[in-house]
Amino acid sequence: MPPVTPADPTRPRIALTAGEPAGIGPELIARLAGEDLGADLAVIADARLMAERAEAIGVTLELEEFRLDARPPPGRLGIIDIALAEPSHPGSLDPRNARYVLETLAQAADGAASGTFDAIVTAPVHKGVINDAGVPFSGHTEFFADRAGCRVVMMLVARDLRVALATTHLPLAAVPAAITRDGLSTTLRILNTDLRRRFGLAAPRIAVLGLNPHAGEGGHLGREEIETIEPVLEVLRKEGLDLVGPLPADTAFVPSQLTGFDAVLAMYHDQGLPVLKHAGFGHAVNVTLGLPYIRTSVDHGTALDLAGSGRADAGSLRAALQLAIELAARPR
């Protein structure tokens, strides 16, 4: 048996959830397990699943039970073993394993809330199969918000580009009604607070996009800018927030414009994220702001067609881990 190495309090402890068992999450974690990224990692997953997926892609993976008082020796990965309901096969979804996925998220959330973990990094889940199992589920962001009992903001990061969302996983037809003065005010306060607290920006400058084409064209293309967005910005500027907008979304991402901002707030998912993913797909990171702990994730889905092939790129998971470690090390 390898000698026990005492835990190092200077190294962040990061919980990794392996996501949808039929997807690429388990093998991406297995691929990164042998790298020393400057943190102690604990994967929350089915141990047999992790071993099988590592073997399938030709990766040597040695697992040992996660311990608070010790860190695994080089080449071994700590694990909190959660049993699958049914054996999982690459690329083949099974609703019977939906509650297993949710249990891994719950254990990670509770561990981070208690201080066992300094951050959570999540591999992708499959929303559809969880809903098919009869469990309403709209995404990681909403799950962690409900578990923590707080309001949160989804933000994606690709190098120096940060795009946050006023609304997340909603049908497009539901977006205008979801953008309220109260909701937008809360979102901007959370974004401003966590840019300062988590990212160390003393006075973040935030670009706020309009909802409608040309930011409403003075009310001719919609009145949400006049009746909702502009009044909120006026109030928050008096509180000291540095907000610019509402800006037309089609020109706000021009590079010469972006250089003046620390973050962009888009009104809905597909207004801001296509630009960010075009700029940084494969190394972008999803960050949940407003939680009492750090949570980052990959910028891609479960890639069922690649599962078990060994061809999946671990770049986004590596970037999510690196950002989580960086944020965990920052004084707060």
Q: What CATH number is given to the structural domain containing 112?
A: 3.40.718.10
Q: What pLDDT is attached to residue 85?
A: 97
Query: Which residues in the chain show pLDDT less than 70?
Result: 1-7, 74-75, 332
So what's the pLDDT on residue 76? 82
Q: Is 116 annotated as a binding residue?
A: no
- Same domain for 174 and 102: no
Mean pLDDT estimate for the chain: 93
Query: What pTM, to 2 d.p., does this model score?
Result: 0.91
pLDDT for 36: 81
pLDDT of residue 4: 57
- Residue 56 and residue 140 share a domain: yes
> Is 286 annotated among the ligand-binding residues?
yes
Token pair for 323: 């950002």
Whole-number Å distance between alpha carbons of 316 and 6: 30
Q: How many domains does the chain have?
A: 2
Burial class of residue 85, CB neighbours in 10 A (0-12, 13-18, 19+): middle
Residue 269 is labelled as binding a ligand: yes
Q: Which residues fall within 8 angstroms of residue 203, CB to CB, at 6 or more apart?
A: 242
Looking at the structure, tell me whether residues 65 and 5 fall in a common domain. Answer: yes
Residues 4 and 126 in one domain: yes
Domain that holds residue 84: 1-150+291-331
11 is known to lie in a ligand binding site: no
pLDDT value at residue 1: 47
Residue 140 annotated as part of some ligand binding site: yes
Let me know: does 13 contact 118? Beta carbons within 8 Å: yes
Q: How far apart are CA 312 and CA 292, in angstroms?
A: 32
Q: Is 295 annotated as a binding residue?
A: yes
Contact between 283 and 321 (Cβ < 8 Å):
no
Do 2 and 145 share a domain, yes or no? Answer: yes
